[in-house]
Structure 1
Amino acid sequence: MAGRTRNNPLALAVLALLWERPMHPYEMSMTLRERRKDESVRLNFGSLYSVVDSLVKHGLVEAASTEREGNRPQRTVYRITDAGAAEAVDWMTDLVQTPVKEFPQFEAALSFLPLLPPDDVARLLRLRAANLDRAITVLATTVDGARAQGLPDVFALEADYELAVLRAELGFVNGLAASIADGSLGGVELWRTLHAQSPGGRIDPDQLADALAPFFEGG
């Protein structure tokens, strides 16, 4: 993977697990779930096998042995190679030091928000805020419980980051909902007017184009 686009965090998770000790894919999956790493890395068993096969193909992991338990199918145990360890360090270095543009779905929704009437948006944002508040409570309770059992802070950093992001989003959503409701959001009156002139619930395309033209002329 060195020199190629690193676009699958599950591959990094596999390298990190095999850094600890050799494992077969089922053990990798169970370990990730037990440690709640599936909260930060998208995990399913089929994709895990594909990732392992790709890592083998690129010389980053290799088969170490096979094992069988009872009548279960034979399992291949994999270990990280020197090239895989170097790749993991290089990949981690890039991830930590270099911000990259991501494309969250909520950001996409914000960019097209005027398609919905402003009062509907304010209501939906309040519902989102309630969902965010519940998610924050659940995650904070889980993290606090793990720390109470002795989990060191360094092994809960991804949860701390998620909490920080959720809390920041909650503050943004509450502020946006309030500014729409009280009319202080710039452009909200134009937004209301466009929907008021479109009683069928769909903004007229020509009216929208005319409203936006002054802001994008010469762009």
Structure 2
Amino acid sequence: MPTRRPAAVPPPPKRPANPLALAVLGLLLEQPMHPHAMVGALRERGMDAAFKLTTGSLYDTVRALVRDGWIEVDGTEQAGNRPVRTVYRHTAAGRDGFTDWLDELIREPAPEYPRFLSAVAYLGALGRPRAAEALRERAAALRERIAQGAEAYRAAREEHGVPRLFVIEAEYAAALAQAELEWVERTAAEIEQGTLAWPEGDGR
């Protein structure tokens, strides 16, 4: 009797380069959804601050995820006189690929290169007064961002009833922004008080 070969396991989908794909896949882990609802959910949860989000960019991302086998059409829905909308869900391979990708991202710290980190390396080139002024202006912008994020988080939790686990990334973002604000204000104060050593003849 011939031995039956095991079915070939399909390769995992190619991982998207666009970080917005991660947000789309995360939403579809909760339930099937159409792109218009995805945009609303991401904005409601304040995640449009973490991703470059427009209706066009989200539709492009959805098309790419369908093309690469991450998601598939689940059906259509129509409310009243509104246009018929296509609802998407994870493919089996897409769901497994997403959870594996997520697991890797959470477990393994990866080097990131924000623009501010690169600029701070050359803070001394500005001279003391200009460096302190620039840091103070950044601190003001950070305080505003923190306040806006807190309001978006409050609205998502209290007005829309979004479970904390679904907006927990906002808590992480707020913690990062608060830590940056404290460092920026402390460094600006050191420059203003003259306690941060500066290259001789470059105090401008």
The two structures have a TM-score, normalised by structure 2, of 0.79
Q: Which amino acid aligns with 2:189?
A: A
Question: Cα deviations across residues 88-137 of structure 1 (Å, max 9, x unaligned)?
Answer: 10111011111111221211221232332221111121222222223333
Is contact 2:153–2:167 with CA below 8 Å preserved after alignment?
Answer: yes
Q: Distance in 2 between matches of 1:160 and 1:175?
A: 23
1:136 aligns with 2:146: yes
1:180 aligns with 2:188: no
Per-residue deviation at 1:82? 0.4
- The 3 A distance-change label for structure 1 pair 146 and 46 is closer
**Deviates most, 37-46 or 52-61:** 37-46
What's the secondary structure of 2:110's corresponding residue?
coil
Is contact 1:129–1:173 with CA below 8 Å preserved after alignment?
Answer: yes
- For 1:168, the equivalent position in structure 2 comes to 179
Q: Which amino acid aligns with 2:23?
A: A
Per-residue deviation at 1:73? 5.1
Question: Cα deviations across residues 18-46 of structure 1 (Å, max 9, x unaligned)?
Answer: 22322222222122222222222321122
Q: Which amino acid aligns with 2:193?
A: D
Q: Which of 21, 24, 30 is equivalent to 2:31?
A: 21
- The 3 A distance-change label for structure 1 pair 74 and 153 is closer
Q: Distance in 2 between matches of 1:189 and 1:115?
A: 9
Q: Which amino acid aligns with 1:20?
A: E
- For 2:202, the equivalent position in structure 1 comes to 194
Question: Cα deviations across residues 172-215 of structure 1 (Å, max 9, x unaligned)?
Answer: 111211222222223x143xx1365xxxxxxxxxxxxxxxxxxx
- For 2:7, the equivalent position in structure 1 comes to none
Is contact 1:40–1:158 with CA below 8 Å preserved after alignment?
Answer: no
**How high is the sequence identity, in percent, across the aligned residues?**
42
- The 3 A distance-change label for structure 1 pair 85 and 101 is same
Pick 1 or 2: higher relative contact order, CA cutoff 8 A, min separation 6.
2
1:49 aligns with 2:80: no
Is contact 1:121–1:177 with CA below 8 Å preserved after alignment?
Answer: yes
What's the secondary structure of 1:156's corresponding residue?
helix
- The 3 A distance-change label for structure 1 pair 2 and 119 is farther
1:150-169 alignment runs, 5 A limit = 152-169=163-180
Greater fraction of residues in helix: 1
- For 1:91, the equivalent position in structure 2 comes to 101
1:9 aligns with 2:16: no
Per-residue deviation at 1:68? 5.2
Per-residue deviation at 1:165? 0.9
Q: CA RMSD in A?
A: 2.7
Q: Which amino acid aligns with 1:140?
A: A
- The 3 A distance-change label for structure 1 pair 80 and 148 is closer
Structure index of larger Rg: 1
How many residues align? The count is: 193
The two structures have a TM-score, normalised by structure 1, of 0.75
Q: Distance in 2 between matches of 1:155 and 1:74?
A: 27
Gaps of at least 5 residues in structure 2 are 1-10
Q: Distance in 2 between matches of 1:73 and 1:114?
A: 57
Is contact 2:13–2:69 with CA below 8 Å preserved after alignment?
Answer: no
